[in-house]
């Protein structure tokens, strides 16, 4: 019974795996999936909520504080009776309540500077979030490019293997009729085996690249995926005439991480003003309304006719709303005199943070200049390689076709044919890599300029 169930389960899983069709994904779909599923990008988006909360908190700091208190006590034991000027044992019930608030009139402009600091921090985080989106787009495009390049190189290796097998069949036929020595057949069989090994290597490299792309997209790794090869138009392989100085200027204007670093200087400046504001006095205004009730509270009355004195209990509503109600209004000025040099220390820290922010900006500008210059040089080199590999492929193709014909009629040796085939395969591989390298360097240049978008 268990064996039957196990066989059925294995058969079901096998059928399910065979029936599962590979999902075709385009470059645009890969980018959209990465932007939707990337965990680091989601965390950055969630952190924007924290920045929004900090800004709202700084805005609400301008509002007054408002507090309400209500309490009651019950006291039993020996107590002093004011009317008889004696002590007696009895129980007293009292209730009291108050409502009050205060507002800061002046605090060394710390509230204002705190609001500006939180707003600049939010703006800086927003710029970095956009730059992180650009990173995801670029990394996805690079991983997709590696997959497509791997598939192209695998296709070249498969075509090379097919050509080697056809040559092996031709050599075997010639060996049988005595036109070729047996050693040529052995050498060709070794070449076929070497080509098969190269295919295994290309397949393994392609699978690694696919796993890397799947990880970036954050999709189901057990699903099979096929990646559509984007069309590379001829006009896409034309070198554009760039000016390095203009590219650097564009990067300085559009790079979001540079703008974020510039905003960090503003943030550090506001934090320094907050620290210096602690040297100034704080002026506050306060107001309160309070009342109370006691069951021992009595109202004394004098009868004018008899001269008798009577004491009557005052009810809760009368006491709480009228008799015991009190109001207060005041202001306070707090002048800092000595706080163990805490303010001085905070000012010094703020000055250092401001200097570090300025240094970080200079470092970022230098980094951007180096990135743009390197990308420009790589783009120029890729364009030259593209032109060179095209001429090399044309020459290698003609040479290989010529050697094939000469070998067929017995005018060439196997060594010459093998060498021509190796040069043809190398030229084909170099051409494919040059095409994708050129496209990659162009996108890399756009990335360092801060102009990359989801529409690739």
Same-domain pairing of 45 and 142: yes
Other CB atoms within a 10 A radius of the CB of residue 270 amount to 22
What is the tally of structural domains in the chain?
2
User: What tens digit of pLDDT does each residue of 232-270 get?
Assistant: 666 567 888 899 999 999 999 999 999 999 999 999 999
Looking at 294, 317, 335, the residue that finishes a domain is 335
pLDDT at res. 174: 83
Report, in angstroms and rounded to the nearest whole number, the Rg of the chain calculated over CA atoms.
42
What is the mean predicted confidence (pLDDT) over 173-202?
89
pLDDT at res. 17: 44
Same-domain pairing of 226 and 265: yes
Domain containing 40 equals 19-63+107-280+336-449
What is the mean predicted confidence (pLDDT) over 185-209?
93
DSSP 236: G
Helical pair 182-217 and 414-449, crossing angle rounded to 10 deg: 10
User: What tens digit of pLDDT does each residue of 404-431 get?
Assistant: 888 887 787 878 888 888 898 888 888 8
Asked whether residue 309 carries a pLDDT value surpassing 70, the answer given is no
CB 375 within 8 A of CB 444: yes
- CA dist 302 and 307 (Å) reads 6
Looking at 304, 335, 366, the residue that finishes a domain is 335
The chain-wide mean pLDDT, for the chain, equals: 87
What is the mean predicted confidence (pLDDT) over 305-317?
72
User: What tens digit of pLDDT does each residue of 272-285 get?
Assistant: 999 999 999 999 99
Same-domain pairing of 257 and 140: yes
pLDDT at res. 3: 38
Asked whether residue 155 carries a pLDDT value surpassing 50, the answer given is yes
Same-domain pairing of 272 and 207: yes
CB 154 within 8 A of CB 202: yes
* Within-domain flag for 11: no
CB 271 within 8 A of CB 117: yes
Same-domain pairing of 240 and 94: no
Which residue, among 150, 146, 155, has the nearest Cα to 212 in the 3D structure? 146
Phi, psi of 110 (to 5 degrees): -70, -35
pLDDT at res. 239: 84
pLDDT at res. 11: 37
pLDDT at res. 82: 64
* Within-domain flag for 5: no
Read off the CATH number of the domain in which 293 is found: 2.20.200.10
Q: What confidence tier does 6 reach under pLDDT thresholds 50, 70, 90?
A: very low
- CA dist 158 and 150 (Å) reads 12
Between 232 and 25, the more confident residue is: 25
* Within-domain flag for 268: yes
Same-domain pairing of 55 and 115: yes
Return the structure tokens found at 189: 């069989």
Same-domain pairing of 211 and 317: no
Asked whether residue 29 carries a pLDDT value surpassing 80, the answer given is yes
What is the mean predicted confidence (pLDDT) over 427-451?
88
Return the structure tokens found at 302: 């004098």
Which residue, among 123, 140, 136, 118, has the nearest Cα to 43 in the 3D structure? 136
pLDDT at res. 78: 79
pLDDT at res. 167: 85
Same-domain pairing of 268 and 120: yes
Range in 122-131, 133-142, 226-235, 380-389 with the lowest mean pLDDT: 226-235
Return the structure tokens found at 99: 């409502």
Between 369 and 13, the more confident residue is: 369
pLDDT at res. 452: 84
Read off the CATH number of the domain in which 28 is found: 1.20.1600.10
User: What tens digit of pLDDT does each residue of 54-87 get?
Assistant: 999 999 999 999 999 999 898 887 777 666 667 7
Same-domain pairing of 294 and 411: no
Which residue, among 270, 339, 281, has the nearest Cα to 106 in the 3D structure? 281
Which residue, among 409, 414, 403, 408, has the nearest Cα to 187 in the 3D structure? 414
Asked whether residue 15 carries a pLDDT value surpassing 50, the answer given is no
What is the mean predicted confidence (pLDDT) over 355-371?
96
The pTM for the full model equals 0.78
Asked whether residue 8 carries a pLDDT value surpassing 80, the answer given is no
């Amino acid at each position: 019974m268990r064996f039957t169930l196990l066989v059925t389960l294995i058969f079901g899983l096998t059928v399910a795996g065979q029936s599962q069709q590979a999902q075709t994904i385009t470059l645009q779909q890969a980018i959209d999936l990465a932007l939707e599923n990337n965990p680091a990008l989601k965390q950055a988006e969630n952190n924007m909520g924290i920045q929004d909360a900090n800004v709202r908190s700084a805005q609400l700091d301008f509002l007054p504080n408002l507090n309400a208190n209500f309490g009651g006590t019950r006291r039993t034991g020996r107590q002093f009776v004011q009317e008889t000027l004696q002590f007696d044992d009895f129980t007293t019930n009292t209730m009291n309540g108050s409502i009050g608030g205060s507002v800061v009139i002046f605090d060394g402009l710390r509230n204002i500077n705190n609001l500006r600091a939180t707003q600049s921090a939010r703006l800086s985080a927003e710029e970095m979030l956009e730059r992180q989106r650009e990173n995801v787009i670029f990394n996805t495009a690079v991983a997709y490019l590696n997959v497509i390049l791997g598939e192209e190189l695998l296709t070249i290796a498969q075509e090379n293997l097919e050509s080697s097998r056809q040559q092996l069949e031709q050599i075997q036929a010639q060996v049988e009729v005595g036109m070729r020595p047996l050693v040529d057949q052995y050498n060709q069989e070794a070449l076929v085996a070497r080509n098969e090994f190269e295919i295994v290597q290309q397949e393994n490299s392609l699978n690694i690249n696919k796993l890397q792309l799947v990880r970036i997209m954050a999709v189901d790794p057990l699903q099979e995926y096929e990646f559509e090869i984007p069309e590379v138009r001829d006009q896409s392989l034309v070198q554009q005439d760039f000016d390095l100085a203009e590219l650097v200027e564009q990067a300085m204007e559009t790079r979001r991480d540079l703008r974020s670093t510039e905003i960090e200087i503003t943030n550090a400046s506001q934090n320094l003003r907050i620290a210096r504001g602690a040297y100034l006095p704080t002026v506050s205004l306060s107001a309160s309304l309070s009342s109370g009730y006691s069951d021992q509270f009595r109202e004394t009355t004098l009868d004018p006719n008899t001269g008798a004195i009577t004491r009557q209990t005052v009810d809760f509503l009368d006491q709480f709303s009228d008799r015991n109600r009190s109001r207060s209004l005041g202001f306070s000025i707090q002048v800092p005199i000595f706080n163990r040099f805490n303010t001085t220390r905070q000012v010094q820290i703020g000055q250092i943070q401001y200097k570090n922010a300025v240094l970080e900006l200079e470092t970022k500008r230098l980094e951007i200049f180096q990135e743009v210059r390197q990308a420009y040089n790589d783009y120029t080199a890729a364009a030259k390689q593209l032109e060179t590999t095209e001429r090399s492929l044309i020459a290698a193709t003609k040479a290989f076709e010529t050697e094939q014909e000469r070998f067929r009629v017995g005018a060439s040796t196997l060594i010459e044919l093998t060498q021509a085939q190796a040069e043809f395969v190398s030229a084909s591989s170099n051409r494919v890599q040059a095409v994708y390298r050129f496209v990659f360097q162009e996108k890399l240049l756009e990335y360092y300029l801060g102009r990359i978008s989801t529409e690739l």
